[in-house]
C-alpha cells in the first residue's frame, strides 16, 4: 500500500491541504512557548513511524503536486536551477543519494537497479522509467542535479567546501522563503546569511559553519527553521515578491484560519562522497491555521510564540503586517494552561 497523492495546487485557486494523518505528522517547530535562534542541529536519524522522520528523505501526499508546481516555476524562470561548472560531480552525488533514499523508503513508488555504471530509475508517481550511464551527463535529459531534483520534494543547495568555508555553488530553489539562488550563488556561508538579523552577533553562524564543515559521510544532520506564508504558496521567492507580497495585506480576522500558514523547513545536511561537498535539502511543510489548531497544544504554543516574537525577527520573517490579526485570532484558542514540553501534539 502506497501513498495516495493529492491533486492540488500551490497557486491561483490554492487547493492544497493536509489530510488528518498529515496534520498529526506536521513537524511543529516549537518545543517550548518561546522562540529565539539557536544552533539547533541534531543527527539526522530515522524517527518514529508515521512521522516526517520515518525516512531520511520524506515523500508525502503532496509529492506529485509539488513536482508539478516546480515544473511551472522552472518554465517561468530557469534561473531557479543553477550549477557552477565545478559542481557537476556533486550533482551526480546528489542523484545517487536521492535515488537510493527514495527507493529505500518507498519501494512501491521508486525502484533503482544498477549494473555497474548502467542505472535504471523507475519513478511510478511521475511516470518515469529511464536508463542512463552514471557519470555521463549526455545520457540524461537534464544535468544530474536538475534531473533528480525535479523528482524530489524540497529545495536543494549544494555547497562546495574549500578554504574552511562552504560555498553556495549549485542549487534547485523553487520553494524558498524569500531568498534568491540567482543572487546568492557563489557566496560563502557568511555572505549568503548576511541579511539575517541578530544571529551573526550571537555567533550562530560561526558555530554552525564549524559543525557543518565537519559533517561526515553517512552521518547527516538536521535542523528545523520556520516562517509564515499567506496562502499555501510554495514559490515565495524574492523574484516574485511583487506578485505574492499583496497577499499579506489580505489577512482579516475572518480569514486567518484559512489564509495564514505556518511554513516549516526541515533542513538536513549530508556529506557527498565523491565531491566532498555538502548537500543541504530544505524541505518545506505548510499547514494552515485551521488545520494546526486542531491540535490544542500547538494552538496555545503558537499563540505565545508569535505574540512574544522580537519585532526584528517578526519583521525579517515578514509577519509585521498581519501579526496583530493572527495573535488576536490565536489568543481565543489559548486558555493560558500549561503546554507539555516537546514538539508533538498531546
Partner 1 sequence: MAAKSIISRPVYGTLSPQPGKHHLFIADAEGALAIAEMAGRAPPRFFDDAEVVFIPGPDGKHTVALEALKPAQFHQAPSFASLLPRLRQTLANAHMGLRLYLSGTEGLIGQAMQVALEAGIDHTSIQTEHRGSLARRMQCVHCKGITENVTTQPATCAHCGLLLLVRDHYSRRIAAFQGVCINAEDRSEIPPMEEIFR
Q: Which residues are part of the catalytic machinery?
A: 223
Contact 169, 86 (CB under 8 A): yes
The correct pick among 34, 136, 141, 183 for binding partner 1 (CB under 8 A) is: 183
Which residues, 6 or more positions from 163, have their beta carbon under 8 angstroms from its beta carbon? none
Nearer to partner 1 by C-beta: 44 or 193? 193
Q: Is 193 in the site for partner 1 (CB under 8 A)?
A: yes
CA distance 192 to 318: 18
The correct pick among 192, 270, 280, 329 for binding partner 1 (CB under 8 A) is: 192
Q: Is 164 in the site for partner 1 (CB under 8 A)?
A: no
Distance set, CA 58 to CA 40, 128, 323 (Å):
20, 19, 31
Q: Which three cell numbers mark 343? A: 514538539
Q: Which of residues 248-277 bind partner 1 (CB under 8 A)?
A: 248-249
Nearer to partner 1 by C-beta: 99 or 170? 170
Pick the stretch among 9-17, 130-138, 150-158, 194-202 that binds partner 1 (CB under 8 A).
194-202
Q: Which three cell numbers mark 190? A: 557568511
Q: Is 38 in the site for partner 1 (CB under 8 A)?
A: no
Nearer to partner 1 by C-beta: 25 or 248? 248
Q: Is the dihedral of CA 237, 26, 10, 266 positive or negative?
A: positive
Contact 278, 40 (CB under 8 A): no
Closest approach, Cβ 342 to partner 1, in A, equals 35
Q: Which of residues 73-102 bind partner 1 (CB under 8 A)?
A: 79
Q: Is 278 helix (H, G, I), strand (E, B) or coil?
A: strand
Pick the stretch among 51-59, 151-159, 179-187, 278-286 that binds partner 1 (CB under 8 A).
179-187
The correct pick among 14, 297, 321, 325 for binding partner 1 (CB under 8 A) is: 321
Task: Count interface residues toward partner 1 (CB under 8 A).
Answer: 25
**Alpha helix positions (H), 239-322:** 241-244, 256-259, 289-292, 296-308, 311-316
Q: Is 62 in the site for partner 1 (CB under 8 A)?
A: no
Nearer to partner 1 by C-beta: 111 or 315? 315
Which residues, 6 or more positions from 327, have their beta carbon under 8 angstroms from its beta carbon? 303, 306, 307
Q: Is 242 in the site for partner 1 (CB under 8 A)?
A: yes
| 54-86 per-residue burial string, b: 16 or more CB within 10 A, e: under 16 | ebbbbbbbbbbbbbebbeebbeeeeebbbbbee
Closest approach, Cβ 271 to partner 1, in A, equals 25
Nearer to partner 1 by C-beta: 120 or 190? 190
CA distance 307 to 91: 42
The correct pick among 34, 241, 310, 328 for binding partner 1 (CB under 8 A) is: 241
DSSP-derived secondary structure for 74-113: HHH-GGGEEE-GGGHHHHHHHHHHHHHHHHHH-TTTEEEE
Nearer to partner 1 by C-beta: 141 or 190? 190
Residues at the contact surface with partner 1, assessed by CB under 8 A: 79, 180, 182-187, 190-195, 200, 238-242, 245-246, 248-249, 321
Amino acid at each position: 500500500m502506497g501513498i495516495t497523492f493529492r491533486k492540488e495546487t500551490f497557486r491561483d485557486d490554492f487547493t492544497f491541504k493536509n489530510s488528518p494523518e498529515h496534520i498529526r505528522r506536521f513537524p511543529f517547530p516549537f518545543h517550548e512557548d518561546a522562540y529565539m535562534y539557536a544552533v539547533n542541529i541534531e543527527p539526522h536519524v530515522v524517527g518514529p513511524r508515521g512521522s516526517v522522520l520515518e525516512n531520511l528523505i520524506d515523500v508525502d501526499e503532496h509529492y506529485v503536486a509539488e513536482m508539478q508546481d516546480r515544473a511551472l516555476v522552472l518554465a517561468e524562470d530557469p534561473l531557479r536551477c543553477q550549477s557552477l561548472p565545478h559542481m557537476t560531480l556533486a550533482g551526480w552525488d546528489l542523484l545517487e543519494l536521492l535515488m537510493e533514499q527514495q527507493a529505500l523508503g518507498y519501494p512501491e513508488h521508486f525502484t533503482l537497479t544498477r549494473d555497474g555504471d548502467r542505472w535504471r530509475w523507475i519513478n511510478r508517481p511521475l511516470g518515469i522509467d529511464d536508463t542512463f550511464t552514471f557519470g555521463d551527463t549526455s545520457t540524461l535529459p537534464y544535468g544530474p542535479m536538475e534531473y533528480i531534483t525535479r523528482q524530489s520534494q524540497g529545495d536543494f543547495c549544494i555547497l562546495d567546501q574549500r578554504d574552511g568555508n562552504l560555498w553556495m555553488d549549485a542549487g534547485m530553489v523553487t520553494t524558498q522563503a524569500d531568498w534568491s539562488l540567482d543572487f546568492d550563488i557563489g557566496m560563502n556561508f557568511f555572505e549568503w546569511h548576511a541579511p539575517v538579523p541578530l544571529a551573526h552577533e550571537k555567533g550562530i553562524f560561526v558555530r554552525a559553519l564549524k559543525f557543518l564543515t565537519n559533517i561526515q559521510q553517512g552521518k547527516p544532520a538536521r535542523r528545523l527553521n520556520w516562517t509564515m506564508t499567506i496562502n499555501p504558496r510554495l514559490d515565495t521567492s524574492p523574484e516574485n515578491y511583487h506578485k505574492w507580497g499583496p497577499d499579506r495585506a489580505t489577512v482579516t480576522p475572518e480569514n486567518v484560519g484559512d489564509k495564514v500558514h505556518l511554513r516549516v523547513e526541515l533542513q538536513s545536511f549530508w556529506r557527498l562522497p565523491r565531491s566532498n561537498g555538502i548537500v543541504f535539502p530544505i524541505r518545506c511543510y505548510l499547514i494552515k491555521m485551521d488545520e494546526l489548531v486542531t491540535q490544542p497544544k500547538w494552538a496555545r504554543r503558537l499563540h505565545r510564540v508569535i505574540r512574544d516574537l522580537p519585532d526584528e525577527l517578526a519583521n525579517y520573517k515578514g509577519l509585521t503586517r498581519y501579526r496583530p490579526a493572527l495573535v488576536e485570532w490565536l489568543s481565543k484558542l489559548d486558555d493560558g494552561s500549561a503546554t507539555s514540553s516537546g514538539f508533538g501534539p498531546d
